[in-house]
């Protein structure tokens, strides 16, 4: 497994596991537990979840497998609702996430998206959670460049470690201005929906002829090509979500796949980088 380094020096795997929609149905519960465990044992030890996912069911799903592993070998990420990111609610929200996960700290706590709570208040609360030992570091999700600039203009805002946004081969809008800004300020990109599951931006990627040809040439799967593209710079974390153990194992192998300059040129010809500012994609 390849690793990237956060600005505090912490190494994390470039491939983690998302949990959106997992843990919500009893008939798929065991298969999803097995998928997560397969991922962990394949090096995908970063687990991403949120209080929003199934109203905490995804956090409980993760909590059910944590006793099988040493806590220090995992990197747990959860997210707080924007309306809970104020002084009245965030400490309770964090405690509830910890309870459902069955742990006493989060490695990373994210503001799920920007809401009406002043960023200054959220940042102060995040810093207090660090002082209390309940989280090790914090970040944001679904922040565009202007949001990030505002965040960094307030005291403590530059302590933000990660911005988690939608990013995949057919959705490259962040490359125009957000991603360069993040690289300059050492904010790590965490890419959700790296396989473009569903939504208007999927563009039938999994059956695209060019990608099928590229996968065949690399003796790989199309999802492995998609993941390899997202993590190609070594400074991006992708968090694909699946409840299928075989798919999880296959995803983990994407860190070993290297796309050549020629491969990237072929991809660029079909899915070009943006030439102007576009709204931040969220689906």
CATH number of the domain within which 128 lies = 3.20.20.100
Using alpha carbons, select from 195, 245, 257 the residue that is nearest to residue 35: 245
Strand partners, 171: 168
Does some domain include residue 119?
Answer: yes
Does some domain include residue 6?
Answer: no
Query: What is residue 203's predicted lDDT score, i.e. its pLDDT?
Result: 61
Structural domain that includes position 109: 12-270
How would you class 53 by CB atoms within 10 Å of its CB: exposed for 0-12, middle for 13-18, buried for 19 or more? buried
Query: What is residue 202's predicted lDDT score, i.e. its pLDDT?
Result: 58
Domains held by the chain: number: 1
pTM for this model (two decimals): 0.96
Does some domain include residue 279?
Answer: no
How confident is the prediction along the chain (283 residues), in pLDDT tens digits per residue?
Answer: 999 999 999 999 999 999 999 999 999 999 999 999 999 999 999 999 999 999 999 999 999 999 999 999 999 999 999 999 999 999 999 999 999 999 999 999 999 999 999 999 999 999 999 999 999 999 999 999 999 999 999 999 999 999 999 999 999 999 999 999 999 999 999 999 999 865 455 567 889 999 999 999 999 999 999 999 999 999 999 999 999 999 999 999 999 999 999 999 999 999 999 999 998 988 6
150-187: buried (b, 16+ CB within 10 Å) or exposed (e) per residue? ebbeeeebebbbbbbbbbbbebbbbeebbbebbeeeeb
Does some domain include residue 1?
Answer: no
Does some domain include residue 283?
Answer: no
Q: How far is the first Cα of the chain from the last one, in angstroms, to the nearest whole number? A: 28
- 283 in Cβ contact with 200 (< 8 Å): yes
Does some domain include residue 7?
Answer: no
Residue 46's contacts (CB-CB under 8 Å, 6 or more residues apart) are 12, 13, 15, 16, 17, 74, 75, 77, 237, 239
Does some domain include residue 4?
Answer: no
Query: What is residue 55's predicted lDDT score, i.e. its pLDDT?
Result: 97
> Checking phi first, is residue 204 left (phi over 0); if not, alpha (psi -120 to 50) or beta?
left
Does some domain include residue 2?
Answer: no
């Amino acid at each position: 497994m390849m690793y990237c380094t956060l600005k505090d020096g912490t190494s994390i795997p470039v491939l983690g596991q998302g949990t959106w929609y997992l843990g919500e149905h009893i008939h798929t519960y065991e298969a999803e537990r097995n998928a997560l465990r397969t991922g962990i044992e394949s090096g995908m030890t970063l687990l991403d979840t949120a209080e929003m996912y199934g109203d905490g069911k995804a956090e409980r799903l993760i909590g059910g497998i944590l006793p099988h592993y040493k806590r220090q070998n995992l990197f747990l990420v959860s997210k707080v609702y924007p309306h809970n990111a104020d002084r009245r609610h965030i400490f309770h929200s964090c405690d509830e996430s910890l309870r459902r996960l069955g742990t006493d700290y989060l490695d990373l706590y994210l503001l799920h998206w920007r809401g009406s709570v002043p960023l200054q208040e959220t940042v102060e609360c995040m810093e207090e959670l660090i002082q209390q030992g309940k989280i090790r570091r914090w970040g944001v999700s679904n922040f565009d460049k202007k949001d990030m600039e505002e965040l960094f203009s307030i005291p403590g805002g530059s302590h933000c470690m990660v911005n988690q946004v939608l990013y995949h081969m057919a959705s490259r809008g962040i490359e125009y201005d957000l991603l360069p800004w993040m690289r300059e300020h050492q904010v790590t990109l965490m890419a959700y929906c790296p396989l473009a599951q569903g939504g208007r931006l999927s563009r039938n990627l999994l059956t695209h002829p060019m990608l099928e040809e590229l996968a065949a040439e690399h003796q790989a799967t199309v999802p492995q090509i998609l993941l390899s593209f997202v993590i190609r710079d070594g400074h991006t974390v992708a968090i694909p979500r699946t409840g299928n153990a075989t798919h999880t194992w296959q995803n983990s192998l994407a860190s070993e796949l290297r796309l050549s300059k020629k491969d990237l040129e072929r991809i660029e010809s079909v899915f070009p980088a943006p030439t102007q500012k576009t709204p931040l994609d969220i689906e």
